[in-house]
Amino acid sequence: MNVLGIETTCDETAAAIVSPGEDGRGLIRANEVLSQIAEHAAYGGVVPEIAARAHVEVLDRLIARALETAGMRLADLDGIAVAAGPGLIGGVLIGLVTAKTLSLVARRPLVAVNHLEAHALTARLTDGLAFPYLLLLASGGHTQLVAVKGVGEYVRLGTTIDDAIGEAFDKVAKLLGLGYPGGPEVERMAEAGDPERFALPRPMLGRREANFSLSGLKTALRIEAERIAPLAERDVADLCAGFQAAVVDVVVDRLRVALRGFGAVAGHPTALVAAGGVSANGAIRRALAAQAGQAGLAFVAPPLALCGDNGAMIAWAGLERLRLGLVDDLTAPARARWPFAEAPAA
């Protein structure tokens, strides 16, 4: 079974071909990703219209390159998977219309994939992980703790009530005059900083529910930065280190709450999984690995190349759904918002 995956929900254009491996993992036969960082850097964030135009310009070539790399033709595919949301609607439409056209021409089934579900299933692509497992999904637009019970079976144990973790990192970077994307820049500066110089808050610490809130932390950092302005490089490094340490403390605390609630909705987890762009952050990875060890769980995180948006995760999610007969017709809609996990029943 060979599945083409197309990803255009934000500022990466991606196409990949994935097949099932013999050990439960996936076999990535091609994974083409074209980032738009250079196009958006001057604006300090993603500009939706620029992103959509960039997808239009390169998507057909990326698909052709993926087929060439895999040594395949359209006729060799068993399915066409595409991220149909959530995301920037212009980009989502471009990927979805392209996938529908290929499905129609090649007479292959279409699978409209939830982008967040694709992140949730990446641990099965890379590690063949068995259900159920606890997922921390953290990216620029999403922060959730989810019990992953099976394909299409997700229970949300916690979410952010304001900023996502990646969004907070990017806003802090912009506030401190760092480059775009902000997350890697904050992490880089934090390596040389003193995390204890500034007394920054840990929002939601100790709360019984596993939700996140980061707007207060971001505001506290801004107040400290304004208090000591103008900022020297040492000040910026210390602010970044303090901010990152606060985020790590919040993530660990919220994770402990989610672990306590996991059994009631999904039984015993097989592992703790991190996914999404923020899972590339070294400090957060180390903290999650340590927490998993304390809980007696394996820790699984994708290789750095699969942390951000990519076509391989879309192809794998499509393959998982295709094996279960979960296919879509040509009326499948593009969705700017598309929740993939629901809160547990009261």
Q: Report the number of secondary-structure helices (H) and strands (E) in the chain.
A: 10, 10
Residues 22 and 1: their CA atoms lie apart, in Å, by 12
Q: Is 103 annotated as a binding residue?
A: no
Query: Could you give phi then psi for residue 153, rounded to 5 degrees?
Result: -120, 100
Q: Tell whether residue 170 is among the known ligand binding residues.
A: yes
Q: How far apart are CA 48 and CA 87, in angstroms?
A: 10
**Cis peptide preceding 344, ω within 30 of 0:** no
Tell me the two tokens of residue 91: 């980009």
Check whether 253 is labelled as a binding-site residue. no
Q: Is 78 annotated as a binding residue?
A: no
- Alpha carbon distance 242, 244 (integer Å): 6
- Residue 137 is labelled as binding a ligand: yes
Q: How many CB atoms lie within 10 A of CB 237?
A: 21
Cα–Cα nearest to 44, from 182, 231, 221: 182
Does the annotation flag 134 for ligand binding? no
Contact between 344 and 155 under an 8 Å Cβ cutoff? The reply is yes
138 is in an annotated binding site: yes
Residue 140 annotated as lining a ligand binding site: yes
Residue 138: strand pairing partners: 143
Q: Is 119 annotated as a binding residue?
A: yes
Question: CA 149 to CA 34: how far, in whole Å?
Answer: 32
Helix 215-228 × helix 165-175 angle, to 10°: 10
Binding residues: 115, 119, 137-141, 170, 183, 187, 281, 309
Binding residues for substrate: 137-141, 170, 183, 187, 281
Binding residues for Fe cation: 115, 119, 309
